[in-house]
Amino acid sequence: MNTPNTLKYSKSHEWVKELDGGVVEIGLTDYAQDALGSLVFVNLPEEGDPVTAGETFADVESVKAVSDVYSPVTGEVLEINEDLLDHPEYINEDPYGAWFVRVGNVTEYDELLDAEGYEALCASEE
């Protein structure tokens, strides 16, 4: 399992990357993509949509099941990764490159873990 220590992690298996200007990038962790299996569909919000910390903002579907993706922050969607709509497999191939959304006007963060804390969480879920 790959867990870059430059990122922060939510307990619901999203990663958060801080970009310049208070903007954050959000995606699904390597652990999550591996547990879900081959993804075949992604449903993303639209630019301008509000997102709320701890609430679902997207969903991903594997062959067998659908899973919600939760926002680790409260803010506004500035940009979505349209490539994922046609290529959900990018999430399996490169989970930390396959960002879902970029969020600005961030007013609140969910409780986030560092890489070490996140790996411990995953180990406890095994």
Partner 1 sequence: MERKTPLYEKHVALGGKVVPFAGYLLPVEYPTGMIAEHMAVRTACGLFDVSHMGEIVLKGPGALASINHIMANNYTSLAIGRVRYSPMCNVDGGVVDDLIIYRTSENGYLVVVNAANCEKDDAHIRANLLPDTEMENISAQVAQLALQGPKSTGILAKLMPAEQIPAKYYSFTEKVTIKGIDCLVSQTGYTGELGYELYCAAADAPALWDILLEAGKDDGLIPCGLGARDTLRLEAAMPLYGHEMDDTVSPLETGLDFAVKMNKEEFIGKAGIEAKGTTRTRIGLKATGRGIIREHQTVFLGDRPLGTTTSGTYCAYLGGSYAMALVENGILRIGDVVDVDVRGRRVAAEVVALPFYKHA
What does the binding site for partner 1 look like in residue numbers (CB under 8 A)?
37-38, 40-41, 43, 59, 61-64, 66, 85
Phi-psi region of 52 (alpha: psi -120 to 50; beta: other; left: phi over 0): beta
C-beta separation of 16 from 25 below 8 A: yes
- Provide, rounded to whole angstroms, the least separation between the CB of residue 102 and partner 1: 21
Nearer to partner 1, 61 or 119 (CB): 61
- Indicate the residue among 24 and 44 with the shorter CB distance to partner 1: 44
Nearest distance, CB of residue 64 and partner 1, angstroms = 6
Whether 59 contacts 67, CB under 8 Å: yes
Q: Please tell me the number of Cα atoms within 13 Å of 61 on its side-chain side.
A: 9
Torsion from C-alpha of 2, 34, 62, 94, nearest 10 degrees: 30
Residue placing its CB nearer to partner 1 in the complex, 86 or 111:
86
Q: What minimum distance in Å lies between the beta carbon of 44 and partner 1?
A: 10
For partner 1, give the closer residue by CB, 41 or 97: 41
- Closest approach, Cβ 32 to partner 1, in A, equals 15
Pairwise CA distance, residues 1 & 122, whole Å: 10
From CA 101, how far away is CA 16, in angstroms rounded?
10
